Structure 1
Amino acid sequence: MSQLKTDWLRIATEGQTYRNVPMERQWLVDIAETYDPKNYGARIWPDHRRWYGAWGDVLEVKTEEQDGKLRLFAKLKPNTQLVSANEQDQKVYTSIELDPNFAQSGKAYLTGLGVTDEPASLGTDRLKFSTKERFDTHQYGAPEQLVIGYPDVEHAESDEQPKQEKQLFSILKNFFKSNSPDLAPEPSEEEPMNKEQFEALMGQFTAFGTRLDGLESKAKAFGKKPEGDKGGDDTGKPEGDKGGDDKGKPEGGAITAEQFGTLNESLTGLVAKFESMETKFNALSQEAGNQEPDPAGKGESFTVV
């Protein structure tokens, strides 16, 4: 915030104005007599407009007679916005705002002060703020040289780290270690099958398959009649007499239908058991979802307490 205060500046002159509105002498007399910023302070407004915000304050006023006319003078306290505009040669003249009957007192009062490039009053002083005075009211730190250094590549092969760097890594290591949950290894419900167990199981299946092939071959052999028994001694006999007393007995070592059916049922049950064992074996040979180790060294899920 600017702490700049001006000396006495002429802000109005009695008589005709640029807009042909007369400035009454008594108004200036009343303003010099009644103005008190503690009672009602007049603020400085750019072009008399309020939406820009105020640009300073009127501290005190007085009147003087110059060249046969009464002049109104004021001391101002501009803020940085007014100073910045003035440095750009903008808003360099003043134009007073007054109430001829302030607070029903019957006297004029200075209610505001406009800064403009087109003043209505004649004989006003041009505003010119001193940059030197503005800078004298500020305090600045002494400039420091900024040095950016790069590591020496030729001497960067040393294995020894600075002590502070080691301490930093130690602190970070302890911090992350203290915040990491202790993950105990998950107990395995089933032990995986080793190579010896797998080979033994496969040997049993191989032996079982060999025996099954033998049974199947025997079943096919039992289902055939020997060719040497076709015709036999029954040639020329009536069909009803063929076989004689041997009816219902196996001819030439062939099995009966009843025996074949019994054997077929046994074989069917054996095949069903084999298929069931094969299904179980296929299921055992596949890894379950929780048997495969996590590459990150963790289980499928964990909870940090």
Structure 2
Amino acid sequence: MAKTKFFRVAVEGATTDGRVIERDWIDQMAAGYNPETYTARINCEHLRGFSPDKPFNAYGSIVAVKAEDFALQLDGKSQTRRALYAQFDVNDQLVEINRAGQKLFSSVEIAPNFAATGKAGLVGLAVTDNPASLGTEMLAFSAAKPMIDGFKSKPDSLISASVEFAFELEQAEPDAATGAFAAMKTFFERFTTSTPAPATPVAPAPAGTPPATPPANDNFAQLAEGIRLLGAGVTALSTKLDTDVGVLRTELGTLKTQLGSTEQPGGTRPPATGAEASKYATDC
């Protein structure tokens, strides 16, 4: 899973079923959203599948939201609107879909009376291709609203008009081993990329002057630092390997246990015990 940066997912104004997202609702959703209380999940076109298989599986979760004003250009004029911004924790499937130019818009699902609090709450979000497909075109037909209602988690929920978005993933933090070896690389590059200072001419010593004592090697501290970084990198790598090997051992042990308790395919014939002597014996 990968976290995105915050981007706009909803704006005060029209919804797909003709109602309006109020400005206060944006602020209430931002102030009251807590994934530990209720996690809004991401789906495709507001369709919640029962199977983990695509295309109607869940694509991730909303981990945080906030409200901000932004300038909307409408009819050649700038209008200040309240907007909801969200941060996603998405799976690789949604990242690939978005990068392929598919499902470029978001549409949030809002509960106007979330958990009987009297305040609006964010209960879901869908990715969609065409903002008009859940907006103007459907509202033009009397049969359209029941179609939208069928997508909702609750009948009184609202589905917003879609807003275009693009993923910008946060940079993942390197593990300890990677960070240690990167620091070592930077350290040793100082010895290979530095430009030597030009030599300063030295005046010849007067006759009879004893030779000067050669200067002590002043690279010892730098060498010690390099050795320390090398040791830290080896330690971090060893710890990571121990952890990975431990996980593999656990998984292998579980697999062996499962295979040992699984009946092999095909029927098995019971061992032959021979004929019953009393049944086939003759009286001579």
TM over 0.5: no
TM range (shorter): 0.3 to 0.5
Structure with the larger strand share = 2
Answer 1 or 2: higher relative contact order, Cα 8 Å, separation at least 6: 2
TM-score, normalization: structure 2? 0.43
TM-score, normalization: structure 1? 0.40
